Amino acid sequence: MTMILPTPTGSSSTGVAPVRLAVRGLRKVFADDPRPALEMLRSGATKAEVLQRLNVNVGVAEASFDIRAGEIFVIMGLSGSGKSTIVRLLNRLIEPSEGEIRLDGRDLTGLSYSNLVEVLRRDMSMVFQSFALLPNRTALENAAFGLEVAGVKRGERRRAALAALERVGLADYADRYPNELSGGMQQRVGLARALAKNPTIMLMDEAFSALDPLIRSDMQDELLRLQREDARTIVFISHDAEEAMRIADRIAVMEDGRIAQIGTPAEILRAPADEYVRAFFRGVDASRVLRARDIARPPDDGPPQPGLEPVAADTPIHALLGRVAAAPGPLPVVEADGRLIGVISRAVLLEALDRGGDAGREVRHG
Ligand SMILES: Nc1ncnc2c1ncn2[C@@H]1O[C@H](COP(=O)(O)OP(=O)(O)OP(=O)(O)O)[C@@H](O)[C@H]1O
Ligand SMILES: [Mg+2]
């Protein structure tokens, strides 16, 4: 089934922000001599073909993308598609075989190792899937650990770590040890450790995947709340389509070491690039992903009726039914700055909700 949803009239707020990370022609092959494998990849060979012919593992076959300031950029894809390899290339735990990574316009591939470490230490923090807490240290000491490694003085790092624990709601647990904390609390400490450095970029590799569903969605809310307070650039890796749809400004879907599609959740739901991408998002309920701005349309009959209470552009469409049904005409949709971006009529809303429901039903019936 092809899902065709109405074209949005609003532009996303990430459209104008400056590019922080620019990745071009990035490839990573795991071989002592990468040249034959790179040669094959350049002429379009797949990961499987390289493995078969040369017995060389391809981490990333080719990736090019921009990540903008303040956005949550989610990378998703099946196991082995190259997500973690991309993150490791971004924070330079491993060296690219080919390609360019620019941070704020500066080519990281050209920097000396000590310069590089300094740049990355200042700008980036990493949150892992396993909580990676030190068992014999308190929550506070764990939260301060990144600063300790970076050589920050004791008083200052305790202050920063305590402030970070406060931000994730764990100030009262500062003196507890990891085994006295629940999994969700431990992951909050992991998040606090990343926040304590006050990084402008956070790399999160399956950071919430080990958590129970309810705690996981709490953590997603927490991340979105922190992001509203203090927008950072976040690269978030996930297996989970619901999670990606919920938190992403944009999503890159990886398939066999290449990027199959990059777009906003609404763009990807509306027009998946191929069957692989479509299959990934099949179970997602579009009515919870799409926002008023995604379905708002230019008014057919001139400006909206005066006196109608406008709808905030980021309202999920499943929450609009009552208001739209009760209104005497199409409701105006406005961005946070008051700008009118279109209207939503009863017919447009019902059509979008109906298609969202279809997407859900399709999965339940196989
Ligand atoms: N150090 C390494 N040596 C050899 N091959 C590697 C190495 N690291 C990763 N790979 C290979 O690179 C490919 C991509 O691995 P990667 O860990 O990036 O996948 P992923 O998308 O993160 O998967 P998952 O969802 O399971 O975490 C895989 O085929 C993997 O076998
Ligand atoms: Mg991985």
Do 44 and 118 fall within a single domain?
yes
> What pLDDT, on the 0 to 100 scale, is given for residue 361?
35
The distance of Cα 349 from the centroid of its chain, to the nearest Å, equals 27
The domain that contains 78 carries what CATH number? Answer: 3.40.50.300
Q: What CA–CA distance (Å, rounded) separates 261 from 230?
A: 28
Could you tell me the two tokens for 223?
Answer: 């991340």
Q: Does a structural domain hold residue 293?
A: yes
Range of the domain at 321: 288-364
Q: Does a structural domain hold residue 178?
A: no
Do 214 and 292 fall within a single domain?
no
- Give the closest ligand to the alpha carbon of residue 76: 1
Residue nearest to atom 28 of ligand 1 (CA): 80
Do 261 and 341 fall within a single domain?
no
SS3 114: helix
SS3 148: helix
Do 95 and 17 fall within a single domain?
yes
| DSSP H stretches of helix in the chain | 35-42, 47-54, 83-90, 113-123, 139-143, 145-149, 154-167, 183-196, 213-229, 241-247, 265-270, 275-281, 286-289, 292-295, 321-326, 346-364
CA of 204 to the centre of ligand 2 (A): 11
What is the best residue among 52, 85, 238, 253 to mutate for testing ligand 1's pocket, by most ligand atoms within 8 Å of CB?
85
Could you tell me the two tokens for 204?
Answer: 């999160």
Do 98 and 213 fall within a single domain?
yes
> What pLDDT, on the 0 to 100 scale, is given for residue 153?
93
Residue nearest to atom 3 of ligand 1 (CA): 30
pTM over 0.85: no
Do 40 and 111 fall within a single domain?
yes
Residue nearest to atom 18 of ligand 1 (CA): 82
> What pLDDT, on the 0 to 100 scale, is given for residue 122?
77
281, 315, 341: which is the final residue of a domain? 281
Do 221 and 345 fall within a single domain?
no
- Give the closest ligand to the alpha carbon of residue 94: 1
Do 223 and 94 fall within a single domain?
yes
The total number of structural domains that make up the chain: 2
Q: What CA–CA distance (Å, rounded) separates 324 from 319?
A: 10
Q: What CA–CA distance (Å, rounded) separates 357 from 26?
A: 38
Do 263 and 311 fall within a single domain?
no
> What pLDDT, on the 0 to 100 scale, is given for residue 244?
92
Q: What CA–CA distance (Å, rounded) separates 350 from 237?
A: 33
Could you tell me the two tokens for 361?
Answer: 């039903």
The domain that contains 345 carries what CATH number? Answer: 3.10.580.10
Do 345 and 240 fall within a single domain?
no
281, 300, 335: which is the final residue of a domain? 281
Could you tell me the two tokens for 184?
Answer: 């969700």
> What pLDDT, on the 0 to 100 scale, is given for residue 2?
41
Q: Does a structural domain hold residue 189?
A: no
CA-wise closest residue to 25 among 14, 41, 40? 41
Residue nearest to atom 11 of ligand 1 (CA): 59
215, 248, 281: which is the final residue of a domain? 281
Q: Does a structural domain hold residue 195?
A: no
Do 221 and 316 fall within a single domain?
no
Q: Does a structural domain hold residue 148?
A: no
Could you tell me the two tokens for 56?
Answer: 């060389």
> What pLDDT, on the 0 to 100 scale, is given for residue 178?
94
Residues 6+ apart with CB under 8 A from 264: 12, 248, 249, 250, 251
CB distance 91 to 119 below 8 Å: no
Do 47 and 100 fall within a single domain?
yes
Q: Does a structural domain hold residue 265?
A: yes
Tens of pLDDT along the chain (366 residues) come to 344 444 443 344 444 789 999 999 999 999 999 999 999 999 999 999 999 999 999 999 999 999 999 999 999 999 999 999 999 999 888 899 999 999 998 888 777 777 877 777 778 888 877 767 999 999 999 999 988 888 889 999 999 999 999 988 899 999 999 999 988 899 889 989 988 988 899 999 998 887 788 888 888 998 998 898 888 999 999 988 989 998 999 999 999 999 999 999 988 988 899 999 999 888 888 887 888 998 998 877 677 777 888 999 989 898 998 898 888 889 999 998 989 999 999 988 988 887 654 443 333 333
- Whole-angstrom CA distances from 276 to 26, 268, 281, 350 are 22, 12, 9, 28
Q: What CA–CA distance (Å, rounded) separates 343 from 292?
A: 9
Q: Which residues have C-beta atoms less than 6 Å from ligand 1?
A: 30, 57, 59, 77, 79-85, 239
